[in-house]
Structures are given as C-alpha cells and as structure tokens.
C-alpha cells in the first residue's frame, strides 16, 4: 500500500502530510523528529494501516511543508502545537492516538496539555521526555544547524548512515528510502538534507522549549515511552521519573538503539500496536 500525499493550510502555512489507511478507521497521528520528515514512519504506518487512519505530517520547515518566513517566532513547540490543532480540526478528527519521535513526542506532550487537551487518547513518546540531556542537544545542533552539501545522493546517504546510526538496524533499502525522502538539490547543483537550517534556532530563541515537566504532569492519557537502550538524549533517570509522574507512563527499553529507534522492525512495531490497542 502506498500513502496518499496531501497539503493543508494550517496557521497560514502550507503543511504537507501523507495518509495511510481507511478514512473511517480510528485516526493515528505520527509526528517525526527535529530534522526528519513524516516519511520516516513509512514502515510502521504500512503495518498499522490495516487498523488505523494514519496521518504523518512534515513539520513546518521540513520535508515538503512550507519554510517559515518568521523562524524565530514559528520554529518552536507552541507554534507546532497550534499547527497540530489546525490539522486535526480541518481533518474533522474529534480524538486521535499520537505517536511522536523525539520532537514529535514533545509536540504531542505540549498539544496534549494545551491545544489538543482531552483529544489525544493514547500517547507514544519515542525516545522523548520532559527533560533532555544537554550534551545530546549540543550533538544534534552540531549537525542539524549546519547541514552539509554533497555532489551526489550516494554521499548524502553515507552521511545519513553516520549521523543516524543510533536509529538501529536498517536495511540498505531503508537507508536509501530515508535518503531519497530527505534530500533537496540546491541552486549550485549539490544535494543537502531537506530542512530549513533556521529551524535549529529554536534552541537559541527558545532555550527552555524542551523543559516540559509542567505539561507532562498535566497529561492523563495512557502513555508509552520507548527508550533506546543507548540513548544519550532520554536518560534512564528521566524515564524512571516519567513512570512516577503525570500519566505514569509505561517504559519499554529498545535494545540495539540509541536516539531514536527507527520503528522499522517487527518487535518495535508490535510494541506500538499492542499499546495502541489497549
């Protein structure tokens, strides 16, 4: 099954999303990480589309969505949560399940406490929590804020294989798919990652954007945390606190992964499927 590609005007910005499954199936939002796209979920979405209507947006400034004309104001979790509300409202979805990887999990946390309060029935946080390790944020900023340029897509794929090695095992076909759905060609003919480099200004203009204990403590929906066993972003002590606070999340540790599990193998997909069915 192939996804359908759509565009909606959300908060006066054009947002791209792909959609899987039947229109009348229970809706499930899958929201990607900081420097990624909605196509990261193709494997798990294809598997779960027998049960759910799956919506995978590209965040503003990523993928095929519009880049912000006002980066310092709009590249932040509060604005992303407003976009999420607009998307859900325009699609006519009263309640949704939410799976978010990294930043996508933070958007789900903020939206669940504010713009979509009472409308997220199940929340899956893929290697994301209300407090993130500063050293890992610096690591992400080091490559996300200065995307390299290459003469060939093959060279760009080699770069992705290096920086996203913590995602865990991916087949050659999956690495190629990630590359081909994450590439833009520049005026000089070179290729580079898809996103607006200004999106990393979130960490400068909104330095406390990912300190979300207040929002997390306000949540009450069933919550599952997937933590990469080798994650340098979501520390074990934070995951332990998440079991005791707020929605008192279930925590599952994913072996062979750091930040963040790719959700592309049967064991990881089954964890998500079983939780969402509960």
d(CA 264, CA 139): 24
Locate the domains of the chain by residue range.
Answer: 4-139+210-276
153-209 pLDDT per residue, tens: 999 999 999 999 999 999 999 999 999 999 999 999 999 999 999 999 999 999 999
Higher pLDDT, 272 or 135: 272
- What integer is the mean pLDDT of 7-12? 98
Sequence-distant (6+) residues with CB within 8 A of 249 are 125, 223, 224, 225, 242, 243
Whole-number average pLDDT of the chain: 97
Q: Which pTM value belongs to this model? A: 0.97
From 2.60.120.10, 3.30.413.10, 3.40.190.10, 3.40.50.1820, which CATH number describes the 4-139+210-276 domain? Answer: 3.40.50.1820
b/e burial code for range 71-96 (CB count within 10 A of at least 16 → b): beebbbbebbbbbbbbbbeebebeeb
Confidence of residue 236 (pLDDT cuts 50, 70, 90): very high
């Amino acid at each position: 099954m192939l996804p359908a590609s759509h565009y909606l005007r959300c908060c006066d910005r054009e947002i791209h999303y792909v959609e899987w499954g039947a229109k009348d199936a229970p809706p499930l939002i899958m929201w990607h990480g900081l420097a990624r796209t909605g196509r990261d979920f193709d494997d798990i979405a294809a598997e779960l589309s027998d049960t759910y209507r799956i919506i995978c947006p590209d965040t503003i400034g990523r993928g095929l969505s519009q880049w912000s004309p006002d980066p310092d104001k709009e590249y932040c979790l509060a604005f992303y949560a407003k976009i999420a509300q607009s998307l859900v409202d325009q699609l006519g979805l009263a309640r949704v399940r939410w799976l978010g990887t990294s930043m996508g999990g933070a958007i789900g946390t903020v939206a669940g406490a504010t713009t979509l309060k009472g409308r997220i029935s199940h929340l899956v946080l893929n290697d994301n929590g209300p407090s993130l390790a500063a050293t890992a944020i610096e690591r992400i900023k080091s490559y996300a804020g200065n995307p390299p340029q290459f003469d060939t897509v093959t060279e760009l794929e080699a770069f992705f294989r290096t920086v996203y090695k913590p995602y865990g095992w991916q087949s050659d076909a999956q690495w190629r798919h990630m590359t081909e759905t994450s590439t833009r060609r520049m005026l000089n003919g070179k290729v580079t990652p898809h996103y607006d480099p200004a999106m990393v200004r979130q960490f400068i203009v909104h330095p406390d954007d990912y300190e979300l204990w207040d929002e997390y403590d306000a949540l009450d929906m069933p919550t599952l945390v997937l933590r990469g066993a080798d994650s340098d972003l979501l520390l074990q002590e934070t995951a332990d606190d998440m079991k005791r606070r707020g929605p008192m999340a279930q925590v599952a540790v994913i072996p062979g992964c750091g930040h963040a599990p790719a959700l592309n193998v049967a064991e990881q997909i089954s964890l998500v499927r079983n939780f969402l069915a509960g």
